[in-house]
């Protein structure tokens, strides 16, 4: 074994320690990838939809795609636009908040998941 390969073998445990420490320190300093923001309440979601329609569409679309992983969870028409879907979901959530203001404190993701199959039930 030559001196270079011996040095590489000797440094391997040290490199592992450096990478381990870096993987612990970087997130603690806030230098890593950003964590997903905490889920909004229904009230916060509706307020954000008023100021940022694109965010609202993205969130409804994301949750609808996730729910599609469960066969028969909801069945909106394939020709429905995301604008129409978002408008229907937002309208339903606003109505729920108007009927009972405590609904504004519910988790928005969960509320959207629950509204989708009510709006577009699958025929079984």
Q: Report the run of H or E that residue 110 belongs to, with start and end.
A: helix 108-119
Average pLDDT over residues 28-55: 77
Bridge partner list, 107: 41
pLDDT, tens digit, 9 for 90 and up, residues 84-110: 999 999 999 999 999 999 999 999 999
Q: Is there a contact between 108 and 40 (Cβ–Cβ < 8 Å)? A: yes
Comparison of pLDDT for 86 and 2, the residue scoring more: 86
Its pTM stands at 0.67
Has residue 20 got a pLDDT over 60? no
């Amino acid at each position: 074994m030559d001196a270079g390969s011996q040095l590489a073998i000797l440094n391997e445990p040290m490199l592992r320690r450096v990478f381990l420490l870096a993987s612990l320190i970087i997130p603690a300093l806030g230098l890593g990838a950003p964590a997903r923001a905490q889920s909004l309440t229904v009230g916060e979601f509706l307020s954000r939809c008023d100021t940022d329609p694109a965010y609202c569409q993205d969130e409804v679309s994301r949750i609808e795609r996730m729910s599609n992983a469960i066969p028969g969870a909801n069945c909106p028409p394939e020709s429905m636009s995301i604008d129409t879907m978002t408008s229907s979901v937002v309208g339903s959530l606003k109505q729920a908040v108007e009927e009972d203001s405590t609904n504004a404190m519910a988790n928005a993701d969960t509320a959207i998941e629950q509204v989708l199959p009510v709006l577009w039930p699958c025929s079984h």
